[in-house]
Amino acid sequence: MAARSDFEEWLVAREPSLQRLALLLTGDPHSAQDLVQTSLAKLYLAWDRLEDREHLDGYARRVLVNEHRSAWRRPWRRREVVTAEVPDVPTSSRSGPDVHAEVWAFVATLPPRQRAVLVLRYYEELTEAETADVLGISVGTVKSQASRALAALRSRLADHPEITHPGQEES
């Protein structure tokens, strides 16, 4: 019974963070919720076997990211085409949540591994080594995937100065 209360206590503190991570990985609130629930179920089943309670957050992130990667490998998932259309917007001074949402819409169009690297490195603020550990890849791969993802974002955002330079009118 103590294990269950330990899990519940940990869950109350960490679930919001896992939800945010899942949303950034999936780009869809419903898929994110499914991803978190599946990951938490797996974590709960392994709870009694987890001896290193100091590193639970990292383990939970790894379970979540691995589950997300596994979902992308499923045959039915390969048939789906994910598109994120950015609506036409007038050039104006914009900032705040709208711009933030548009940037994340661009992030959502990246390949899953690149998106995972960006989310873990820059949103979760993990080191390159921690990101590599969570994803089960080398530090060099983390660096190259981050570099490619950032280059892709720069390229996509270059055509949208209203996002990258809010308040500057076109000349």
The CATH number linked to 43 is 1.10.1740.10
The better pLDDT of the pair 89, 52 is held by: 52
The CATH number linked to 121 is 1.10.10.10
User: Which domain, by its residues, includes 68?
Assistant: 1-82
Reading phi first (left if > 0) and then psi (alpha if -120 to 50, else beta), residue 167 is in left
The number of beta carbons lying within 10 Å of the beta carbon of residue 102 is 19
- Which of 35, 60, 82 is the endpoint of a domain? 82
pLDDT in tens, 37-54: 999 999 988 888 887 778
Structural domains in the chain (count): 2
Residues 137 and 165 in one domain: yes
Residues 25 and 55 in one domain: yes
pLDDT in tens, 151-162: 998 888 887 766
Residues 101 and 71 in one domain: no
**Residues near 128 by beta carbon (within 8 Å), at least 6 away in sequence:** 121, 139, 142, 143, 146
Name the phi and psi angles at 69, rounded to 5.
-65, -40
Residues 71 and 91 in one domain: no
CA distance 98 to 121: 23
Q: What is the mean pLDDT of residues 18-22?
A: 92
Q: What is the pTM of this model?
A: 0.58
Residues 150 and 111 in one domain: yes
Residues 92 and 117 in one domain: yes
